Amino acid sequence: MEKVIIEEGGEQSIFLYYKNVLDKENYDLIYNFLQNMDDFKGGETSYGRTIPRLQKWYHTENLYFSKDWKTSNLYKRWISHNYERILIELQKKMQLKIINLNIN
């Protein structure tokens, strides 16, 4: 299923949904990986509002979320974690699966 959203100014966002894109073994790996995490970060917005979720930021090059933010205002929740092997493997599988689904 494909959903195209055209925003004001003509910009587009495209969302693709593929049911059961991974097999059960991969879902189990992801589930266990997430269940074993205990270092999600909460926080507040720059306006002082509490963010209603915990999150964890990853970047392949360990970069901070926004290079434009001043270093004196670094938020701990946006300091990058190591891009773990399971994430690299998952990313590769997803990219290959999506490419194959789009070709067929």
Distance of alpha carbon 12 from alpha carbon 17, whole angstroms: 17
Mean pLDDT of 72-82: 74
Position 24 confidence tier, pLDDT thresholds 50, 70, 90:
very high
Q: In this structure, what is the dihedral angle of CA atoms 87, 34, 25, 83, given to the nearest 10 degrees?
A: 10
pLDDT at 28: 93
- Taking 90 as the threshold, does the pLDDT of residue 100 lie above it? no
pTM: 0.62
Give mean pLDDT, residues 50-55: 88
- pLDDT above 90 covers what percent of the chain? 14
List the chain domain ranges: 19-103
Q: Residue 16: pLDDT above 60?
A: yes
Burial 60-92 (b: 16+ CB within 10 A, else e): eeeeeeeeeeeeeeebebbeeeeeeeeeeebee
- Closest Cα partner for 87 from 24, 23, 29? 29
Q: What is the pLDDT, as a whole number, of residue 73?
A: 63
Residue 33 has pLDDT above 80, yes or no: yes
Query: Which of the four pLDDT bands, split at 50, 70 and 90, describes residue 72?
Result: low
